[in-house]
Amino acid sequence: MLGASGVPLLRLPPEEELIPQRKRKPLPRNPHIPLGSVSRDLFGLGRCSMGDPVTEQIAARTDWQRAQEDPAELWCVGQRLVEDAVGNRIPFGALYKEQKTIVIFLRHFLCYICKEYVEDLGKIPKKFLQDANVRLVVIGQSAHHHIQPFCNLTGYPHEIYVDPGREIYKILGMKRGETSSSAVHSPHVKSSLLSGSIKSMWRAMTSPAFDFQGDPAQQGGTFILGPGDEIHFVHLDQNRLDHVPINTVLQLAGVKTVDFTYRSEIIDI
């Protein structure tokens, strides 16, 4: 069946069929496995072409891997809506349709590690992004009214949206719970486990509406997408400390790096 523009329309199966909940045999964890030359249309046409190699971190067969094989799921994730700070809704695919975009999915806004990571994201000069023609987007999974307080807290000046139903998180393969306990020391974490956890709980208790500003068990991820159907990099966090160092992300996206060496070492207690 053709739409008004003459583009074939895809008949999507029910959402529960798009994201089956069957068990899968886990694959060995190996970050940045080259998947070969894959390029897909994230806006509904389901086109597959040969291009530059794509790297993806794999812990098990994910919904994102199934999405790469299924044009209907690729179309589905691009059409899912995100919300801005005032509740305006836009398709996720619009964020990377016109230019290369770094998309950082957070665990939740009360996560002290996410907060301190975003504080450093906020130190990336807008000129660095503009010179490289790269967009930077952070996505959380709370209600939209938590966005502005989080930006005020972190000093983050770039784009930020939320996926309240975690629909995009699920399709892209970001899981609930930690699938690995191993993690290297993050250059972006300033607080110890004890002090960070206390700060997070205090923020929850003093929030106008007492909530956890998202599912506490949700893991995040990092994607470099666009323009259009290009998929440059995918990293699915295996635990709360498994985010990609910011300068690594900037290098992969072709953006000038930032000096984060000013802070002293922190020891967990």
| Neighbour-count burial of 225, counting CB atoms closer than 10 A to its CB (0-12 exposed, 13-18 middle, 19+ buried) | buried
pLDDT above 70 coverage of the chain, percent? 57
Which of 62, 82, 65 is CA-nearest to residue 74? Answer: 65
pLDDT score of 214:
65
Identity of the amino acid at 221: G
**CA distances from residue 164 to 65, 213, 253 in whole angstroms, order as listed:** 23, 9, 27
Tell me the pTM: 0.68
pLDDT score of 212:
57
Name the stretches of the chain with pLDDT < 70.
1-74, 177-185, 188-189, 191-214, 262-269
pLDDT score of 240:
72
pLDDT score of 255:
98
Q: What is the DSSP string of 88-154?
A: -EEEGGGGSSSSEEEEEE-S-TT-HHHHHHHHHHTTS-HHHHHHHTEEEEEEE-S-GGGHHHHHHHH
pLDDT score of 195:
52
pLDDT score of 33:
32
